[in-house]
Structures are given as C-alpha cells and as structure tokens.
Amino acid sequence: MHEIARGPVTVEYAPDEGARKAIAAELAVVSVKALQAKVVVRAWLDGAELSGEIDAIVEQTCSVSLDEFDEPIRTQFSIRVVPAGSPHAPLPETSEIELDAEADDPPDVLDNDVIDVEAYVLEHLALELDP
C-alpha cells in the first residue's frame, strides 16, 4: 500500500489463455473467452479504495438445454480495504446484525500490506455470472 501514498495507481489485468483456463475452472464455467479489467487504487483513510471496470466474455452451459452460450459481462465495482487493527475496520460480528441497504459496505480487512487486485476482479466477475 506504500505506492498509493504518492497518488492513485492504475492496475490493468488481462490474463493470458492459460490463466483464463484456470479462472474458468475456478468459476466452474466452460471457458473465459476474454477478460480485461482496469482498477484504480487510491488512498482512503488508513487503507485504500479500489474502483474497477470489468469487461469479459464467459462461456457457460445452460442448466435446462445443456447448450453452451456466451455471456458478455460489463460491470463496475468499488471496494474499500483497511489494514488489520485499523480503527476503521468493521466491529466483530455479534449475535444480531443490523442491515442497512442504503449504507456503504464495510471495508475489507487485509491480512498484510498487499492488495490482491486480481482476487477482487475475480470475486466481482463471479458475482456477475448468471446462475
């Protein structure tokens, strides 16, 4: 996270064919024909904010007809992260959880000072897949 102290950092992610095959296996889809992402990482409080755009084509199998089809995915995401021990980290969960659909998501807590941009891209790609 030291690099973002000097200003926003742009990370472009475009995995090669071998990496896309591994991603397809991880996501349990036929293939990932194309995947590009651009993520801007900027300082936020004592952590960082990631704002990303994902453009992908994922080949899936229809659960009804078993035909394969391409699903184009274009999405944007924004997430905040803080280091462990941050005063801005979410409080430990209690037995009752209050949900506010209008509130921002709490920041993710990092295990170390490294932000795994690829993991956030793949997480948000997975969230966009048509079940």
∠ at Cα 41 (47, 127), nearest 5°?
A: 95
- Tens of pLDDT along 53-68? 999 999 999 888 989 9
Predicted confidence at residue 37, as pLDDT, reads 98
Residue 93 pLDDT greater than 80, yes or no: no
Q: Which of 19-28, 40-49, 86-95 has the lowest mean pLDDT?
A: 86-95
Give yes or no for residue 78 having a pLDDT over 60.
Answer: yes
pTM confidence score: 0.87
Distance CA 38, CA 21 (A): 20
